A and B are shown apart, each in its own frame.
Chain A
Amino acid sequence: MKNTIIYFIITSIVSPLFSQPSGKEILNLIDKNLAAGTRIMTAKMIISGARGSRTIEFKTWAEGEERAFTEYTNPPREKGTKMLKLEDKLWIFSPSTDRIIQITGQMLRQSVMGSDLSYEDMMEDPDLTSHYNASVIASDTVQGRDCWVLQLNAAGEGEAYEVRKIWVDRERFVPLREELFGKSGKLLKRTQLSEVTRIQGRWYPMKIVFKDMLKAGDGTQFIIETLRLDDPVPENIFSKASLK
């Protein structure tokens, strides 16, 4: 689940460019860098709240953009909680109740485990190229690296965010920062990606910080601990049966 988010933010692949590429080209390059067939990762999320921060650890299996399965491993309270995303549906399983609950409607807007991310954020279709018109609007430096600044305008109705700005590493084609705006131009969310690491020939950001810009607070950190790309994932893992 988390994983889809990371995925869309990370979506990319490296290929050095000599002249300024078009927005679409950059998006494709990002996609090439980040899009692996399958991804298996262990990660943790550090959420800051009124009572200090807490850490949630989990393992995720994902395939493409459509299918993802997450199992929480820590803290003990959340251990055994599983989430399954199949296309636009999301289920959650809690071992203590032995119930599978589909997260729909109103609940999709709730924050995930108290983080600055909602279930909906996680459900978002990561395919930016088909939903947004991208153009390069500037150059900038983020974390000491030269970046293209991409502006993405929603191509049609129904996108969660009307405008996105993405700062993309010119060499590695990894997004290093993303800002999400409403129709009125208001900055709603900011994501910062760092600790870009070479994994199986791809550049991956291993730390991502999400921040709801309207809310006070430090935001939510997402840290990838291990990541395996293109390893085989058993087919049955992406089924409701695997939740229980």
Chain B
Amino acid sequence: MIKFIIKGLLRDKHRSRLPLIVVAIGVMLTVLMTTWITGVLGDSINLNAKLSTGHVKVITKAYRESMDQIPVDLSLTGTKALITELKKDYPSASWVERIQFGGLLDLPDENGETKSQGPFAGIAVDLFNPSSGEAERLNLNRILVNGRLPSASGEILVSHSFAEKLGISINDRVTFIGTTMYGGMTIVNFTVAGTIRYGITALDRGSVIMDISDARNALEMEDACNEILGFTDVEYYDDSKASELMESFNDSYASDNDQFAPVMIRLRDQNDLGGLIDMMSGVVGIVSFVFILVLSVVLWNAGLIGGLRRYGEVGLRLAMGEEKGHIYRSMIAESLAIGTAGSVIGIALGLSLSYLLQQKGLDFSSAMQNATMLMPGVFRTRITPEAWYIGFIPGIIATVLGTMLAGIGIYKRQTARLFKELQS
């Protein structure tokens, strides 16, 4: 029976082609929409994660109390061992060390005397080890305005308007003046390799990015850092995964009451992101619901249309003495086959397109004045587990439902009228 139906569908293009296309396109659009909205709404969360919060973050208890001041003197120590332990205990996540710090940048004149000076906020990340993925995480290639990325020790990136204000050009030697983890004064020379633009005025007005090894030397932080960022195996923030990780880690340090004992916090505990996450899942839910609703209606309609399209055929089959119930069932079976096939094709198309957009992104940067970190101008989809099955719901159910409604007509038709119809 199933074989027969499928053969019929394959041979009779009218019966299968258009409905299949409609289901496939509809499902594809729904999948795309779900991944798009998740991706776009998740953008600011992702940005926060990459720039400062991580999916989870390990800090000291003392640091947690005054985190907005980014105090280096309250840093974690013994981070090599700590990171090894984290990698061993939670191998699926990636762990990176960061140092956030502040200081003064001093540009000398030709006599080596201070020409200009300004305060900055610095982020030190693992730039030189490509496997750390930090350069990509900070989107450095894209936000680079002039010059190049640091490739050797002693090279730094300076935010563009900060460089302009101090009169810094690429390859200038500048001096960093700051305070080490132990409170000592530190004075270190750096070469400006490039300038960057975040698109956030507060950051653009004074920030510096350098390799963590340089910051460690400068800040007397060998085997120390003030933040260890953890990114769970997935690209986007997964609250339940992060919570699980946090609980497990904090349990293992629960008895350690030292003020420098490590403690893990989640992304949602920082920068007031908790609310955004809650809203996001709400909005994704609403939008997905609306889409499924719209698609259901569209496919229901398509089912109706498909049923009507085959009015003549049904009439003929009735005339040949086929039982009404049998025709009805076979039509539903057909729609089930079309719905399934269409959903599979649609999901496959939708996911491939989403995957493409997840990897490549949709580039709107030409529509925006300047591509920046906050607004990269590139929008990306994000494939969530739901995207794999969400299309089936309208794809199959609505198609079948539509056919069922359209098919009711079969029962209403009188054999006598059928012949009339067939004559014409």
Which A residues fall within an 8 A CB radius of B? 47, 49-51, 54, 56, 75, 77-78, 81, 92, 94, 96-102, 104, 106-107, 110-115
Q: Does B104 contact A (CB under 8 A)?
A: yes
Which positions in B face A, CB cutoff 8 Å? 62, 71, 73-74, 104, 106, 108, 112-114, 117, 119, 175, 177, 179-185, 187-189, 220
Query: Is the beta-carbon distance between B187 and A94 smaller than 8 angstroms?
Result: yes
- The chain A residue with its CB closest to the CB of B77 is A51
26 contacts between A and B (CB under 8 A): A50-B74, A50-B183, A51-B73, A51-B182, A54-B184, A75-B184, A77-B184, A78-B185, A81-B185, A94-B187, A96-B189, A98-B112, A99-B106, A99-B112, A99-B187, A101-B114, A104-B114, A106-B104, A106-B119, A107-B104, A107-B117, A111-B183, A113-B183, A113-B184, A114-B179, A114-B183
Neighbouring B residues of A102 by C-beta, 8 Å: 113-114
Asked, given contacts A96-B188, A97-B189, whether A54 binds B112 with beta carbons under 8 Å apart, the answer is no
B residues near A56, Cβ cutoff 8 Å: 184
Whether A54 and B183, one on each chain, are in contact in the complex, defined by CB atoms closer than 8 angstroms, is yes
Residues on A with C-beta less than 8 A from B182 are 49, 51, 54, 114
Q: Give A112 to B185 CA distance when docked, in angstroms.
A: 7
Partner of A51, one of B119, B175, B181: B181
Return chain B residues, CB-CB under 8 Å to A98: 112, 189
Give every chain B residue within 8 A of A78 (Cβ-Cβ).
184-185
Q: Complex formed: what's the CA distance from A102 to B187 in Å?
A: 12
Q: Find chain A residues with CB under 8 A from B220 CB.
A: 77
Verify A47–B183 contact, CB threshold 8 A: yes
Q: Across the interface, name the chain A residue whose C-beta is closest to B106.
A: A101
Among B113, B180, B183, B220, find the residue whose CB has the most chain A CB atoms closer than 10 A. Answer: B183
A50 to B71, alpha carbons, bound, how many Å? 10
Whether B184 pairs with A101 at a CB distance below 8 angstroms is no
The A interface, classified by DSSP as helix, strand, loop or mixed, is: mixed
Provide the bound-state CA to CA distance between A114 and B181, in Å.
10
Asked whether B183 lies within 8 Å of A49 as measured between CB atoms, the reply is yes
How far is A115 from B184 in the complex, measured between Cα atoms in Å? 9
- Inside 8 A of A115's CB, which chain B residues have their CB? 183
Q: Name the one of A49, A50, A101 contacting B175, with C-beta atoms under 8 angstroms.
A: A101
Set of chain A residues within 8 Å of B112, measured between Cβ atoms: 98-100
- Supposing A107-B104, A114-B182 touch, asked if A49 and B73 sit within 8 A by C-beta, the answer is yes
Report which of A47, A50, A97, A107 forms a contact with B188, defined as CB distance below 8 A: A97
Check A92/B187 contact, CB under 8 A, given A101-B177, A102-B113, A114-B182. yes
Looking across the interface, which residue of chain A has its beta carbon closest to that of B108?
A99
**Which residues of B have CB within 8 Å of A75?**
184
Look across to chain B and name the residue whose beta carbon is closest to the beta carbon of A95: B187
Q: Inside 8 A of A112's CB, which chain B residues have their CB?
A: 185
Task: Report B117 CB to chain A, min CB distance, Å.
Answer: 8
Q: A100-B113, A101-B106 given; name 4 further pairs at CB < 8 Å.
A: A77-B184, A81-B185, A100-B112, A101-B177
Q: Which residues on the A side are within 8 Å of B71 (C-beta)?
A: 50
- Max chain A C-beta neighbours (<10 A), residue from B106, B114, B175, B189: B114
- How near does chain A come to B111, taking the closest CB pair, in angstroms? 9
A50's nearest neighbour on chain B, judged by CB, is B73
Min distance, Cβ A48 to any Cβ of chain B, angstroms: 9
Q: Which residues of B contact A104 (CB under 8 A)?
A: 114
Give the one of A51, A75, A92, A112 with max B CB within 10 A. A51
- Measured CB to CB, the closest approach of chain B to A139, in angstroms, equals 39
**A94 closest partner in B (C-beta):** B187
6 smallest CB-CB distances across A and B, nearest first, come from A114-B183, A94-B187, A49-B183, A97-B189, A50-B73, A97-B187
In the complex, chain A residues whose CB is within 8 Å of the CB of B73: 49-51
Q: Which residues of A contact B106 (CB under 8 A)?
A: 99, 101
How far apart are A132's CB and chain B's nearest CB, in angstroms?
31
Give the distance in Å from the alpha carbon of A128 to the alpha carbon of B184 in the complex: 30
A58 to chain B, nearest CB (A): 13
Separation of A75 and B180 alpha carbons in the complex (Å): 13
Q: How far is the CA of A195 from the CA of B275 in the complex (A)?
A: 59
- By a CB distance below 8 angstroms, the chain B residues around A111 are 183
Complex CA–CA separation, A195 to B374 (angstroms):
59
CB proximity of B105 to chain A, nearest CB, Å: 12
A residues less than 8 Å from B183 (CB atoms): 47, 49-51, 54, 111, 113-115
Expressed in whole angstroms, the minimum distance between the Cβ of B221 and any Cβ of chain A is 11
A27 to chain B, nearest CB (A): 33
CB of B135 to closest CB in A, whole Å? 27
Interface centre among A92, A101, A102 (most CB of B within 10 A): A101
- Across the interface, which residues of A come within 8 angstroms of B119, CB to CB? 106
Docked Cα-Cα span, A96 to B180, in Å, equals 15
CA distance A99 to B113 in the complex (A): 8
- Asked if A113 contacts B185 (CB within 8 A), the reply is yes
* Cβ 8 A contact of A99, one of B62, B74, B180, B189: B189
Residues in A neighbouring B181, C-beta threshold 8 A: 51
B108 to chain A, nearest CB (A): 6
- Enumerate chain B residues within 8 angstroms of A92, measured Cβ to Cβ: 185, 187
State the CA gap A102–B119 with chains docked (Å).
16
With a CB–CB cut-off of 8 A, which chain B residues contact A94? 187
The answer for the CA separation of A116 and B164 in the assembled complex, in Å, is: 35
Expressed in whole angstroms, the minimum distance between the Cβ of A215 and any Cβ of chain B is 13
B74 closest partner in A (C-beta): A50
Most A CB contacts (10 A, CB to CB) among B74, B181, B187 go to B187
In the assembled complex, how far is the CB of residue B26 from the closest CB belonging to chain A, in whole angstroms?
61
Q: Which residue of A lies closest to B181 (CB)?
A: A51
CA distance A99 to B220 in the complex (A): 19
User: Shortest beta-carbon distance, B236 to chain A, in Å?
Assistant: 36
Q: How far is the CB of A109 from chain B (nearest CB, A)?
A: 12
B205 to chain A, nearest CB (A): 16
